[in-house]
């Protein structure tokens, strides 16, 4: 996320002190937009140094109140007018890396980590659903910020549901590997005869697996 423009946008609505900004951001957009105090403090310093915000009142401790400047308003308008499609980034799952490097000796351990990840995804989905259900939908007037918050929380749920689906598929793959005794990459380089023997063993094993899976083939796409 752009912490810089998030802070500018909130300050355009009204002046605030730093910690209030963090609370408002999460309250408006959901837990995925939580910003830690260190990042928030650094963002405030950068914005003030660039002349995009200014201190308008001094409070106790870290409760100095900041407001957006004219330069900050122009920067926010410039950002708003940008017509660039957001970049789509694929996830680099650390759990996937562990599975790739596990080898047969650590595969059972990796299975436990996959199971815990499944459990955490399910718990997080439940928690965010409960948060979304507390956002009011009815009343004399529909509040735009409530509808946007529900939309953001729903997006978080969709993403977590996709992660849960991937975790369940990973569980299936690991179980399949444990049951079938799959061939793993060599951890050390052997002689030419050893390499050839290993290749022959792989071909023999894959042949047995293919014959065994004709009746109930394993779907590598997880469908």
Question: Average pLDDT for consecutive 10-residue bins of the chain (223 residues)?
Answer: 86 90 87 85 93 88 86 93 78 89 85 95 96 84 87 95 96 89 66 59 57 54 53
Helix, strand or coil for residue 65?
Answer: strand
Q: What span, in angstroms and rounded, lies between the C-alpha atoms of 91 and 163?
A: 10
Structure tokens belonging to residue 67: 């407001």
Can you give the pLDDT at residue 195? 55
Can you give the pLDDT at residue 213? 53
174-180 LR contacts (CB < 8 Å, sep 24+): 174/99, 174/107, 174/110, 174/111, 174/114, 175/111, 176/218, 177/107, 178/107, 178/108, 178/111, 180/209
Helix, strand or coil for residue 170?
Answer: helix
Could you tell me if 205 and 181 are in contact, meaning their C-beta atoms sit under 8 angstroms apart? yes
Can you give the pLDDT at residue 34? 83
Could you tell me if 165 and 45 are in contact, meaning their C-beta atoms sit under 8 angstroms apart? no
Can you give the pLDDT at residue 32? 84
- Does the predicted model carry a pTM greater than 0.95? no
Can you give the pLDDT at residue 116? 96
Can you give the pLDDT at residue 164? 97
User: Within the chain, where are the H helices?
Assistant: 3-13, 18-29, 37-49, 70-81, 94-102, 107-134, 144-180, 192-212
Place of tokens 């007018």: 81
Can you give the pLDDT at residue 223? 54
Handedness of CA 49, 52, 58, 59 (dihedral sign): negative
Helix, strand or coil for residue 168?
Answer: helix
Structure tokens belonging to residue 65: 């109140």
What is the per-residue burial (b if ≥16 Cβ within 10 Å, else e) of 94-113? Answer: eeeeebeebeeeebeebbeb
Q: Are strands 65-68 and 53-57 parallel, antiparallel or unpaired?
A: antiparallel
Q: What span, in angstroms and rounded, lies between the C-alpha atoms of 199 and 203?
A: 6
């Amino acid at each position: 996320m752009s912490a810089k423009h998030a802070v500018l946008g909130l300050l355009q609505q009204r002046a605030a002190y730093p910690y209030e900004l963090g609370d408002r951001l999460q309250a408006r957009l959901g837990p995925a937009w939580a910003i830690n105090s260190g990042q928030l403090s650094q963002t405030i310093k950068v914005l003030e140094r660039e002349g995009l915000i200014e201190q308008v009142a001094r409070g106790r401790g870290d409760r100095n109140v900041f407001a957006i400047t004219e330069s900050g308003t122009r920067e926010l308008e410039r950002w708003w007018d940008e017509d660039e499609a957001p970049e789509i980034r694929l996830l680099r799952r650390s759990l996937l890396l562990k599975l790739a490097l596990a080898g047969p000796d650590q595969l059972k351990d990796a299975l436990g980590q996959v199971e815990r990840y499944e459990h955490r995804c399910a718990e997080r989905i439940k928690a965010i659903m409960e948060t979304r259900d507390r956002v009011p939908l009815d009343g004399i007037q529909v509040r735009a910020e409530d509808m946007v918050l529900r939309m953001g929380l729903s997006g978080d749920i969709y993403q977590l549901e996709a992660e849960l689906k991937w975790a369940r598929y990973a569980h299936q793959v690991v179980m399949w590997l444990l049951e079938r005794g799959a061939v793993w990459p060599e951890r050390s380089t052997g002689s030419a005869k050893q390499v050839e023997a290993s290749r022959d063993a792989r071909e023999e094993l894959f042949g047995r697996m293919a014959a065994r899976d004709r009746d109930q083939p394993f779907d590598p796409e997880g469908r």
